[in-house]
A and B are shown apart, each in its own frame.
Chain A
Amino acid sequence: MRMNLARLSMGAAGLVVSGVGVQLLLDVRDLPGVLVWLGGAVVLHDALIAPLVLLVGWALVRGGARGPVRGALLVAGALTAVALPVLLRPGRPANSSVLPLDYPRDWLLALVAVAAVAALVRAARWVRRGRRRPTRRALRNCSR
C-alpha cells in the first residue's frame, strides 16, 4: 500500500514536471520548429540508427563474434557519436581556442586505441585458454 502511494506520487510528480516543460515550451517563439526536431529525433533513431545498429549486430552474431569484438564496436561507435559534432561542424569557429585540435587524427587515434585494447583482451583470453587446456590434459594423464 505504501509502495503504491510512493508510485502514485512519483507518477503525479512526473506529470507536474512535464507540465512545467510544456508550459515553458508554449512560451518559446518557434514551437513548430521545436516539435519537428523532437519528432525528427525519434524518427531518425527509430527508422535509421537503431535498424543499422541491429543489422550490424545481426551480422556479428552470424559471424560468430561476440564479447571483445562487440565491445570494441560499441565503444568505437560511442566515441564516433560523441565526435560527430567536432568532426563535422561547418564554418569557421569563433576563434582559435574553439575546436583547436586535429579532430580527425584524434578520432582515428581513439579508434586505434580501442582496437588495440580489444586485441589485447582477445590475446589474453587466448593465452589463458591455451594454458588451461594442456593443464587439463596433464591432469587426465596423471589420473590414468
Chain B
Amino acid sequence: MGDMRSRTFPPVFRGRLHDPRTATSIGRWLGLAFAVCFVTGLISHVLQHPPGWAADDLPSRPAWGYRLTQGLHVASGIAAIPLLLAKLWTVYPRLFAWPPVRSVRHALERLSVAVLVGAALFEVATGLLNTVQWYPWPFSFVPVHYAVAWLVTGSLLLHIAVKAPEIRAHWSRRSPGTTALPEEDGPDRRSLLAAVAAAVGAVTVTTVGQSFTPLKDLDLLAPRHPDHGPQGLPVNRTAVAAGVGAIPAERYRLTVAGPRPYTLTLDELRGLPQHEVELPIACVEGWSKSAHWTGARVVDLLELAGAPPHARVRVVSLQTRGGYRVSEMGHEHARDPLTLLALRLNGEELSPDHGYPVRLIAPNRPGVLQTKWVGRLEVLT
C-alpha cells in the first residue's frame, strides 16, 4: 500500500487547546451531566415501566419528585450538548493518531472510545428530538434510548478508568501535567472554558422555563411553554386524538370494581367530599406545570368499595385511541390523600383535553400515567 503518510493525511493540527487539561476540564462537567441524565433516566424508567419487584412500593412522595427528576433529565441532556461538542472538538486530533493501531490494547481502547462517542451523540440527539415529538428513525424510541443509556454509562466508566492517570495529571491548574503544558495557553484556555460555560448557561436558560416556571419568560427555544395550552396547562393527547370527543355529563358513569362494586353518576361523584390539591403535571418530555385540582379522593372511593389496604388499583380510560389507556398504581399512590379523581382544574370544570369529566391526578407520577377520561377503577387482588 506504500506510505499512507502523505502531505494531507494524517492532518496536522497546529491549533491550540487540543490538550488533556482542556479535555479534563470539560470532561468532568460532561461526566456530571451524563451521570445526572442516567440516574434521572433510570428513575423515570422505573416509574413508567415498574419492574415487578418495585411495582407495589413506588413512593408517592415527594409530590414534586418526578417533576424535579424529569426536569433535570432533560435540562442535563440539553446542557450536555455544548459540553459534548466542546469535548469532542478538544480531542478531535486524536482521531488521526498515527499509526492508527499500535497494539491490541490500543485497538480495544479506540473501539471503546468509538462506542462512547457514537452512543453519547446518539443519546443527546434522540433525546432532544423526542422532546419535539420528531421520530425520523425506524426503531422505537423508549427501549433504544434506554438501552443506549447503559452503553454510554458503561463506556464512560471504562473511559474514565483507562484515562485515570491522565485525568489525575491534569485535574487542577497546578497538577504536574497541566504545568508541563505551554504556559501561554493558560489565559486562552480559561477564555474557552468561560465560553463553554456561557454556552451551557445560554442553552439552559432559554429552555429550562418549560419546567422551571420562574424562568418561563426566558423560555425561547423549548418545545413547550407553561402558559400555552387549554386552561393554561399544556397537554399531550387531546380529546380528539384520544377519540373520546365531548362526553355528555348525563351519560357518564364511573364504575368501581372491587369487593363491593358500585357505579356513580357525575352528580353523585360531585356529591362526595371534594378536596383541593396542588400537584404538577410532569411529562416525560421534560415540561411540567403545577395546578390546582379538585375532586374526590381515590382512597375514599376505594374504602366505599371495600378494597384491602395493600391492593393495587387499575385506572381505565374511556379513550378509544392511543397508548396508555390503562394505568396502574400501587397502594402508596392509591392511598395517598393527594391522589384524586379530579373534576376541576384551577377552579373550572376540566376541559375535554384535560380529561373531562374525570381524570386521575396523583403525586410523583409521570404525566402519561395521569389517566384522563377515567371510566373505571378496578381493585386488583
Contacts and interface: CB of A to CB of B under 8 A. Distances in A.
Majority secondary structure, B binding face: helix
B132 A85 contact: yes
Given A8-B161, A54-B92, A81-B85, A25 B220 contact: no
Given A79-B203, A85-B134, A114-B202, A45 B129 contact: no
Interface in B314-365: 353
Contacts of B159: 14
Nearest to B220: A106
A41 B220 CA distance: 27
B381 interface: no
Interface in A4-44: 7-8, 10-11, 13-22, 24-25, 27-30, 33-34, 37-39, 41-42, 44
A30 B135 CA distance: 14
A18 B120 CA distance: 13
Contacts of B262: none
Contact of A89 (B132, B147, B151): B132
B88 A18 contact: no
B241 A98 contact: no
A11 B157 contact: yes
Interface of A: 3, 7-8, 10-11, 13-22, 24-25, 27-30, 33-34, 37-39, 41-42, 44-46, 49-50, 53-54, 57-58, 61, 66-67, 70-71, 74-75, 77-79, 81-83, 85-86, 89-90, 93-101, 103, 106-107, 109-110, 114
Interface of B: 13, 15, 78, 81-82, 85-86, 88-89, 92, 95, 114-115, 117-119, 121-122, 125-126, 128-129, 131-134, 137-140, 143-144, 146-162, 164, 188, 191-192, 194-196, 198-200, 202-203, 206-207, 219-225, 228-230, 234-238, 241, 353
